[in-house]
Amino acid sequence: MVLNGGFAYREHVGKVDSGTTILDYLAARYGHSSRDLWRMRLEAGEVLLDGAPAGPYSILKQGHSLVWRRPPWEEPQAPLGWAVLYRDGHILAAAKPSGLPTLPGGGFLEHTLLSLVRKHYPEAVPVHRLGRGTSGIVLFARTKQARSTLCQAFRKREVDKSYRALVVGVIPDDAFVVSIPIGPVPHPWLGSVHAVNPLGKEAVTRVRVLSRQGGRSIVEAHIETGRPHQIRIHMAAAGYPLVGDPLYAVGGLPHPASTACPGDCGYLLHAQRLRLRHPSTGAFLEVQCAPPPLLRTEGGGGHDGPPTNRDHR
């Protein structure tokens, strides 16, 4: 058994929580742990209030510094191999394997791409993320200026992002567009997850079919917006969910009887290309990451023509 080094979670108390006991605050805000477990942590001295161990009934005041010193824990296993695809003094593009989270969360801390990259490039900050089950390119900024410029480019939709996916079904059209809003819907464990929601935010995915075989299709997807799990949701909404996706069913909603979470793996989705202006020089930069074997095609398949009039809304 290998333990990580533990972690200190830090926050400041706001006006709305002033006058609340620390036990009430933690139990209400962080429902992933029971009230009794938070009491045990407080009594063990794991939680500090303005630098000193806090008792369960310590009263919070606005501006208080609150720190939970989480002891080391055994993280879930994950593939830890990664590669540098591009690097200069301003940015770094890394190849992430499927199964490795981009950022800490869900019990992962050191088994994350961020942790692995920072062992070699401690200044690196990711400017976007990929889902745990998605492989491919993750872009990091190495300076504050690069981070600011790249984040603005992503917000303005100036970054061209191309993915490959293996989906269920033989798609008759060579190309089509999915433009269905995405927003939160109820989830039995997490409270809510992103899925098809008529009241959600605008989302646009342009799809091109690369090959068809054995009741499945390999598609190339360009996302004009960056909604959570957008390709998984939009392909399911169009009637072609990703092969092995444990969460999203035909229609773009979670499987009714499933308790799967967005971070669960099993599908094949790969971020294969990023095209953007370099944050320092302004020149166009294209970074590519070869897809895994099951997403490769011979001769490319499909064609480069524009999307057909078939538009999933």
pLDDT in tens, 41-100: 999 999 999 999 999 999 999 999 999 999 999 999 999 999 999 999 999 999 999 999
Specify the pLDDT at position 1: 58
Q: What CATH number labels 7-70?
A: 3.10.290.10
In the chain, what are the domain boundaries? 7-70, 83-312
Specify the pLDDT at position 312: 59
Specify the pLDDT at position 308: 41
Report the CATH superfamily, name and number, of domain 83-312. Pseudouridine synthase (3.30.2350.10)
From 15, 12, 23, 5, select the one nearest 69 (Cα to Cα). 5
Can you give the pTM of this predicted structure? 0.85
Q: Examine domains 7-70 and 83-312 and report if their fold is the same.
A: no
**pLDDT confidence tier of residue 106, bands split at 50, 70 and 90:** confident
Q: Encode pLDDT of 248-289 as tens digits.
A: 999 999 998 888 989 999 999 999 999 999 999 999 999 999
Specify the pLDDT at position 187: 87
Residue 196 has pLDDT above 70, yes or no: yes
Q: Encode pLDDT of 154-166 as tens digits.
A: 999 999 999 999 9
Give backbone dihedrals phi and psi of 305, rounded to 5 degrees, phi first.
Answer: -70, 170
